[in-house]
Structure 1
Amino acid sequence: MPGKNISIIGLPASGKTTYIAALWALMLNNSPHCSLRLHSLKSGNQQYLNKISEAWLSFSEIGRTFLAKDVGEVVMNLQFKDSQEVAVLNIPDFFGELFDAHFKDREWTEDYFDLMKTSHQLILFVDPYHENNIARTIMDERQILEQYGDLEDVMEESAEQKQRGKEENKESGKVDTKESKSPLANAKIYQHINSSNQVKLVEILQYLLFSLSRAEPFKVAIVVSKWDKVMENFPNKRPDEVVKSNLPLLYQFLNCNASDLIFKFFGVSAQGVDYDNSDGLDEFVKMLPEDRVNIFDGANYSKNIATPITWLIE
């Protein structure tokens, strides 16, 4: 089917699933606040899409409730209501584990490489409040060493303590199930999970730029999720300012590669409210589902959940 290919990328817990749940629900219900309609579902688990949209409609936490591993790749053919133009939306991985594995293993799958070769635009999801935006730093490690002493001495002492414990337990017949009290006793030199999210996101974009030869730049919609929380804490900030403050490496990379990337920032609140906030939730329950959505492009607010997709197609 003709139409531009849009691929959704992002790390685990970055807001992708909630956005797709809202998009799916509003398209199927022909919401006036969604400029897209579903033309067809080319591939994917429709039952799963229905479940997450039902969860979104009923204010259920999608991330905790629906962790199915058999979702597979989802490909939707979308049509704009005011024209016959069609876009193909590719979601290679709902949970972001694929992109995390790319960073860890330093390689792509062939299927993903083929998908990226045919993609014209990207939607990159970022969570500005994710705990892993700030990685473990040299300063943090130095503070630990200052508190507990030289690393080699600590590791040697921990190993000796562990060995003595084993010998004592062997003599007494006890089984040791306790871990060492030293925070460095089980330390590892490097774990990819401790790397900052913005480092991983920059790697994703670097792979795309350096591995795929393109005649034209990638067009990227950077979606800053949890925008309701941003509005509550920083009512006057734009999405680009949030990324600049919370993910400065990603912001710098985008601007330094402006000749290869055409990008725009969007603040997206698809969920609408913190489900743990009982006062706010009571107010939102009274709303129509589409009224929960807020999209901010840095200048104007919109209720149209498809705003980032619409910009990519322009």
Structure 2
Amino acid sequence: MMNTVAFGSGVSIVGLPGSGKTTFLAALWHLVQTGEIETKLRYGSMSNQDYAYLNKIVKLWRKAKEQGRTQIAGMKSVSMNLLDGEERSVSVTFPDVPGEKYRRMWEERKLDEDLVKNLSSSNIMLLLNGDRIRAPAWITEREALKASVEGGKKVEEEPEEWLPAHAPTQVQLIDLLQHFRRAPLDRGPRRVAVMIGAWDKAEGEGKTPAEFQSAKLPMLDQYLKSGRDGWTFRTYGLSAQGGEYDENDENNPKAKTRKEAEHLRDFDLASKRIRLLRDGSETHDLTEPLEWLMN
């Protein structure tokens, strides 16, 4: 008889638009469905029997094609039971919410009712695109740039209207995490796995994921390390695609193909495209951070 052990109430995948939430789910579904490589957790069953959505996104992932707007617009909550090495069942729920709704939390200070329900899980997987980080705009750097462009001449500029969307990436992410420590989302201290995506591009910095977070997202790094809001965290470098994919050709006759995508399709096992790095170690196993989050 299978023993059911509660490791936690679930995992919420959180990320701004373009952070790679759909790609992560597609890669995870491929891993646990095919069993191509050994993983910490393996597939047990689906709670809501909604295979169509997952099969749609994983088909594109295997073909090394970007997820189209149709797939993104159809994102929905996915619940599955994964099994550990002792045959214990771990219930994992992914409220796969479009990034625009997280952006709305920051820009409009509004929280949809469906988000309150979907984000009631105990632990967080925070995805961000390491190649699309909006850095702070330093006054000294802007002045130096102006001087070099204008030959040192003082130029009068019309002040640009500030909009919430202009805020640095790390400011928006910290605010999202703080939402989880305020009503109606507060569930007490939590774990968070910071997943720095597009690692195949970010690793050109020559840093470990933890060093990258400290250098490129220092405010987020200090916020997490301070323990102010009770977060226990780990930082990972993630490449769920393995490189650049072909553009999605659905309703787009001019979709671009990429040589890197052709190379990725040549892998003997598609699971080996996946790269997950932490503390000098590298694996293809996306269930490793899930196991940590659920413990």
Q: TM-score, normalised by structure 1?
A: 0.76
Aligned counterparts, 1:84-99, within 5 A: 84-93=88-97, 95-99=98-102
Q: Which residue identity is paired with 1:17? A: T
Aligned counterparts, 1:86-235, within 5 A: 86-93=90-97, 95-116=98-119, 118-130=120-132, 132-139=133-140, 149-151=155-157, 187=160, 189-211=161-183, 212-215=185-188, 217-231=189-203, 233-235=204-206
What SS does the aligned partner of 1:133 have? coil
CA contact (8 A) 1:77 1:89 kept: yes
Q: Residue 36 of structure 1: which of 39, 42, 50 is its match?
A: 42
1:241 matches 2:174: no
Unmatched runs of 5 consecutive residues or more in structure 2: 247-257
Larger radius of gyration: 1
Q: Residue 281 of structure 2: which of 292, 300, 303 is its match?
A: 300
Question: What CA distance in whole angstroms lies between the structure 2 residues aligned with 1:59 and 1:300?
Answer: 25
Q: Name 1:71's counterpart in structure 2.
A: 74
Question: What CA distance in whole angstroms lies between the structure 2 residues aligned with 1:234 and 1:144?
Answer: 27
Question: What CA distance in whole angstroms lies between the structure 2 residues aligned with 1:191 and 1:280?
Answer: 36
Question: What CA distance in whole angstroms lies between the structure 2 residues aligned with 1:252 and 1:100?
Answer: 22
Measured after TM superposition, the shift of residue 28 of structure 1 is 2.2
What SS does the aligned partner of 2:180 have? helix
Question: What CA distance in whole angstroms lies between the structure 2 residues aligned with 1:123 and 1:213?
Answer: 16
* 1:93-116, Cα deviation, whole Å (9 max, x unpaired): 1x3111001001112122322333
Measured after TM superposition, the shift of residue 243 of structure 1 is 1.0
* Count of aligned pairs: 271
CA contact (8 A) 2:130 2:199 kept: no
What SS does the aligned partner of 2:236 have? strand
Question: What CA distance in whole angstroms lies between the structure 2 residues aligned with 1:279 and 1:205?
Answer: 35
Question: What CA distance in whole angstroms lies between the structure 2 residues aligned with 1:73 and 1:283?
Answer: 28
Unmatched runs of 5 consecutive residues or more in structure 1: 155-183
Q: Name 1:50's counterpart in structure 2.
A: 55
* 1:97-152, Cα deviation, whole Å (9 max, x unpaired): 11001001112122322333x3111100111220x52244545765669878434x
Measured after TM superposition, the shift of residue 92 of structure 1 is 3.6
Percentage identity across aligned positions?
25
RMSD: 2.9
CA contact (8 A) 1:128 1:243 kept: no
Change in CA separation of 1:284 and 1:230 when aligned onto 2, cut-off 3 Å: farther
Greater relative contact order (Cα < 8 A, sep 6+)? 2
Which is further off, 273-282 or 1-10? 273-282
Q: Which residue identity is paired with 1:37? A: Y
Q: TM-score, normalised by structure 2?
A: 0.80
Change in CA separation of 1:139 and 1:43 when aligned onto 2, cut-off 3 Å: farther
Question: What CA distance in whole angstroms lies between the structure 1 residues aligned with 2:167 and 2:60?
Answer: 32
Measured after TM superposition, the shift of residue 7 of structure 1 is 0.6
Measured after TM superposition, the shift of residue 227 of structure 1 is 1.9
Change in CA separation of 1:297 and 1:78 when aligned onto 2, cut-off 3 Å: farther
